[in-house]
């Protein structure tokens, strides 16, 4: 059972990744982003998840330095964007990301989407970066089972992480089961469904029962399922609230009630049908 903000998931290559991190998607205002990252680190977060397409790698890198916490105590993730995929362009994109972050190594580098006819060459570049030890772990985002099987057929390394849209309306049980069987950690982006479930009656009932917010109920559900989570917020109180998850436990009945909310409903793009 995950008991503290500093608890880690042992990835299949031996790297330890915090179960809870700060996501910085759609954080575009520079000072606001920097303050959010610094507050999160001050409050005990050790994992920050960014991406090239977010346009804030430079701000994240600056905030990490200004936090005063040694780099080796932090876990930094970024991602290669779709227009940069392919072997040579991925290598170039990595150098650009590292220059913006102003870091000598990365803890986790992810393929952002499974771009048809490109993601395997992109993965080959990530394998090289991993072999060169400038990246401690490599993984993917938004990969379906068939993408993972296709990758496995022609690669030397398997992803340590698959970061996917995952919340009570989209529980992704077949994908979660596949990843568990193959020792690929599941990481949830949009873990509270972009706030769309905060007024869900059954979740509000559980929140009242446990004296928590609906967001905390959902995040606790994730943790009890063993998911890595990266809730996003620029507000100090919400950043703090998103970690206040360790003084209660959902019963099996509670968990089943949340599982029953699944409708296979996506609020983000379909990994098998996107055009960007």
Give the three-class secondary structure for 222.
helix
- Residue 30, both tokens: 């520079």
**Which residue among the candidates 19, 25, 45, 54 is catalytic per the annotation?**
54
Helix (H, G, I), strand (E, B) or coil at 219: helix
Strand partners, 172: none
Burial 210-249 (b: 16+ CB within 10 A, else e): bebbbbbbbbbbbbbbebbbbbbbbeeeebebbbebeeee
Calculate the CA 222 to chain-centre distance.
12
Is 196 within 8 Å of 174 (Cβ atoms)? no
**Which whole-number Å values give the CA distances from 100 to 52, 55, 206, in the listed order?**
9, 10, 43
> Do residues 152 and 7 lie in contact, with contact meaning Cβ atoms separated by under 8 Å?
no
Tokens read off for 44: 């005990």
- Token pair 């990266």: residue: 230
54 is catalytic: yes
- Please state, in angstroms and as integers, the Cα–Cα distance from residue 248 to each residue in 7, 85, 226, following that order: 16, 43, 16
Rounded Cα distance between 63 and 46, Å, is: 13
* β-pair partners for 186: 162
Map tokens 């009656």 to a residue. Answer: 201
Question: Could you give the residue numbers annotated as active site?
Answer: 54
């Amino acid at each position: 059972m995950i008991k503290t903000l500093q608890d880690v998931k042992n990835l299949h290559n031996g790297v330890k990744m915090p179960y809870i991190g700060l996501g910085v998607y759609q954080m575009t205002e520079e000072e606001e982003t920097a303050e959010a990252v610094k507050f999160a680190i001050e409050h005990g977060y050790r994992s920050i998840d960014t991406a090239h397409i977010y346009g804030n790698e430079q701000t994240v890198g600056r905030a990490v330095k200004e936090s005063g916490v040694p780099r080796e105590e932090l876990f930094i993730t970024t991602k290669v964007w779709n227009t940069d995929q392919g072997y040579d362009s991925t290598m170039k994109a990595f150098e650009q990301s590292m220059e913006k972050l102003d870091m000598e190594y990365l803890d986790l580098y992810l393929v952002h989407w499974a771009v048809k006819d490109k993601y395997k060459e992109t993965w080959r570049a990530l394998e090289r970066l991993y072999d060169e030890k400038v990246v401690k772990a490599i993984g993917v985002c938004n990969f379906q089972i068939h993408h993972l099987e296709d990758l496995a057929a022609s690669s030397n390394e398997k992803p340590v992480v698959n970061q996917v849209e995952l919340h009570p309306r989209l529980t992704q049980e077949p994908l979660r089961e596949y990843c568990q069987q193959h020792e690929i950690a599941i990481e949830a982006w949009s873990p509270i469904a972009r706030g769309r479930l905060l007024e869900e009656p059954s979740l509000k009932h559980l929140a009242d029962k446990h004296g928590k917010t609906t967001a905390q109920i959902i995040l606790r559900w994730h943790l009890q399922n063993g998911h890595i989570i990266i809730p996003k917020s620029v507000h100090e109180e919400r950043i703090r609230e998103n970690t206040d998850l360790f003084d209660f436990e959902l019963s099996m009945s509670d968990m089943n009630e949340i599982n029953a909310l699944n409708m296979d409903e996506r609020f983000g793009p379909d990994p098998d049908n996107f055009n960007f």
